Amino acid sequence: MTMHKRSFPNNGLAYSSIDIFRVHTYMFHDIFLLRKLLCLLSIPSSTSPTMLSSFQFSFQTIRHANNCKLSSSGIYIVCPLLQLSALLDNLNFEAIYPLSLNLHPIRRSVKPTHVASGEDEGSCRMLDVRGHQWLYFLVYLQTFLRADASPDVPITIIHDAVNAGAVCLDGSPPAYHLDRGFGSGINSWLVHMEGGGWCNDLATCLRRKTNRLGSSTVMERELRFIGILNHRGQSNPDFHNWNRVKIRYCDGSSFTGDVEGVNNTTNLHFRGARVWLAVMEDLLKQGLNNAENALLSGCSSAGLASILHCDSFRALLPMGTKVKCLSDGGYFINAKDISGAPHIQNYFDEVVTLHGSAKNLPSSCTSRMQPSLCFFPQNIAGLIRTPLFILNSAIDSWQIRSVLAPADNDPLGTWKACKTDIKNCSTNQLQIMQGFRLDFLEALKPLSSPARGFFINSCYAHCQAELTETWLNNPSPLLDNTTIAKAVGDWFYDRRPFQEIGFPYPCDSTCVNFIYP
């Protein structure tokens, strides 16, 4: 990426490689909440910022924050990720991603005083008199990030969709964020769907109903667009000036559910397919109907959705429109888990049954096999007529954690450390993961058509188009000496075909490997 020279306080710290949590920051609107975070975290009183488009630092300790605790290595926080995310949401942080990146060491740790429960924000005092420099630095850094990153994109709530029954799990209307294109991209559209797993029973759907994955009432009202959605040419050369959309995910079925009845006890609505259609109809009115170029993309469960809805997306647009689809981290394979059980197959069967998804899956697949098997891309990708690009790791971190070694089938927790950080994996565990990689590559065979594209590395990662570090950065993952951003752009514009499979772990030195709490 292009580095922009700016003046920062110089504290003369050198850089080294440590494992960190990467946090995208927003402008702080409440100085007391900022001070509260400084109390909760042991923040150094001085540091030297990296010239990156995100704020990075090492969390050394955390106090009184949702049962979080310091890991044994003293490097990262071990706590429920959703709880930590909720803490950061209150401080206007966009997201938290566990990654392994380069960062400066903390030369000198400043520890906050203990804060008893019930004390107000003003009761926390940094022990070091220079602690106020961090406040100055953060405010200064926010100005830098405002100028360097994409602006906040406001939410659009489709209130009229409720009349058609197109609603989230809790009955609230669907939503999306639209950042208008400019220049040569004014008639090009990137429609990106938000991911977030699935719910397979009433209990899991009820839990989602109270958060942003089940209700638009608690969704962020503004989002920062990064990665493939970034508006800066240096960070996103081929799509930065397109109309860029992020469709919010609130149905738990990869936008496939459609059950007419509503349970009076749970008040759960399973209407993902109607949500999809309602958002498309609204975007067509916003100018999608005049698109010259269109790319449907999605991450994780939405990467699956981008495959399932690829042909129907094409059918909505004018005949002359150049339409393609990108699945990021959504090529889930039907593999047995470490106990030999068909865990993911049973799970998908529960999702499809609960949400009534069968009627919205490709009939070319459901006419040949059990509908839930049509939730696996290996059974449907070869049937998709629209050009399709698969971006995935062959040892995708979500699939290793949830398909290969789900916690339910690892009662002794023998895979826990390995799933947290691939560097912790034993030789035997790595061999099992290499077997999973071979199964993944076997499942890719339906993508042999020249119209398909794929970028398949073996990084311990998930959703690589949504993050600046993996989409286009210096360094970022490479195959055939090509970044993900360039591979997707070249493929979309027919500059060259791209079908590359990388070396097995740990032979790819360009990987950004995720670390989980």
Comparing 210-214, 328-332, 471-475, the range with the smallest average pLDDT is: 471-475
DSSP state of 475: S
pLDDT in tens, 279-301: 999 999 999 999 999 999 999 99
- Residue 235 is a catalytic residue: no
The confidence score (pLDDT) of residue 17 equals: 25
Strand partners, 22: 56, 97
DSSP state of 420: H
Q: Is the pLDDT of residue 123 over 70?
A: no
pLDDT in tens, 217-232: 999 999 999 999 999 9
- What are residue 228's phi and psi, to 5 degrees? -65, -15
Geometric angle at alpha carbon 492, from 486 and 495, rounded to 5°: 70
Q: Is the pLDDT of residue 511 over 60?
A: yes
Between CA 97 and CA 85 the distance in angstroms is: 10
Buried b (16+ CB within 10 A) or exposed e, 478-509: bbeebbbbbbbbbbbeeeeebbebbebbeebe
* 453-457 vs 499-501, strand pairing mode: parallel
Between CA 517 and CA 509 the distance in angstroms is: 23
Q: Is the pLDDT of residue 312 over 50?
A: yes
Helix (H, G, I), strand (E, B) or coil at 515: coil
The confidence score (pLDDT) of residue 136 equals: 44
Helix (H, G, I), strand (E, B) or coil at 144: helix
Q: Is the pLDDT of residue 481 over 90?
A: yes
Identify whether 371 is preceded by a cis peptide bond (ω within 30 of 0). no
Q: Which of left, alpha, beta for 252 (phi over 0: left; psi -120 to 50: alpha)? A: left
Q: How many CA atoms lie within 13 A of 326 on its CB side?
A: 29
The sign of the dihedral angle between the CA atoms of 224, 230, 231, 233 is positive
**Tokens, residue 302:** 């939405």
The confidence score (pLDDT) of residue 147 equals: 42
Q: Is the pLDDT of residue 105 over 80?
A: no
- Residue 300 is a catalytic residue: yes
Q: Is the pLDDT of residue 410 over 60?
A: yes
Between CA 315 and CA 451 the distance in angstroms is: 18
If one compares 130 and 357, the residue with the highest pLDDT of the two is 357
Which of 94, 109, 103, 102 is CA-nearest to residue 61? 109
Quick check: 57 and 103 in contact, CB under 8 A?
yes
Buried b (16+ CB within 10 A) or exposed e, 275-302: bbbbbbbbbeebebeebebbbbbbbbbb
- Give the burial class of 202: count Cβ atoms within 10 A of its Cβ; 0-12 exposed, 13-18 middle, 19 or more buried: middle
Rounded to the nearest 10°, the torsion over CA 467, 5, 232, 85 is 30
Q: Residue 15, Cβ neighbours under 10 Å: how many?
A: 11
Tell me which amino acid residue 22 is. R
If one compares 417 and 263, the residue with the highest pLDDT of the two is 417
Catalytic residue among 254, 300, 372, 458: 300
Rounded to the nearest 10°, the torsion over CA 395, 229, 148, 514 is -10
Catalytic residue among 45, 258, 462, 476: 462
The confidence score (pLDDT) of residue 489 equals: 98
Between CA 90 and CA 84 the distance in angstroms is: 10
Q: Return the residue matching tokens 């993050």.
A: 467
The confidence score (pLDDT) of residue 150 equals: 60
Q: Residue 353, Cβ neighbours under 10 Å: how many?
A: 14
Q: CA of 238: how far to CAs of 151, 242, 290, 295, 369, in Å?
A: 19, 8, 19, 11, 39
If one compares 412 and 78, the residue with the highest pLDDT of the two is 412
Between CA 278 and CA 175 the distance in angstroms is: 10
Could you tell me how many helices (H) and strands (E) the chain has, helices first? 15, 17
If one compares 39 and 258, the residue with the highest pLDDT of the two is 258
- The pTM assigned to this predicted structure is 0.76
Tell me which amino acid residue 315 is. A
Buried b (16+ CB within 10 A) or exposed e, 71-98: beeebbbbbeeeebbebbbebbbbbbbb
Q: Residue 414, Cβ neighbours under 10 Å: how many?
A: 13
- Residue 402 is a catalytic residue: no
**Tokens, residue 408:** 């339910």
The confidence score (pLDDT) of residue 517 equals: 83
Q: Is the pLDDT of residue 484 over 80?
A: yes
Catalytic residue among 215, 396, 397, 476: 396
Q: Is the pLDDT of residue 507 over 80?
A: yes
The sign of the dihedral angle between the CA atoms of 251, 252, 257, 263 is negative
* All residues at 6 or more sequence positions from 514 whose CB lies less than 8 Å from its CB, including other chains: 97, 98, 99, 100, 397, 460, 461, 462
Between CA 392 and CA 459 the distance in angstroms is: 9
pLDDT in tens, 239-255: 999 999 999 999 999 99
If one compares 406 and 450, the residue with the highest pLDDT of the two is 406
**Tokens, residue 84:** 């930590």
Which of 343, 339, 241, 248 is CA-nearest to residue 292? 241
The whole-number average pLDDT for the span 493-510 is: 96
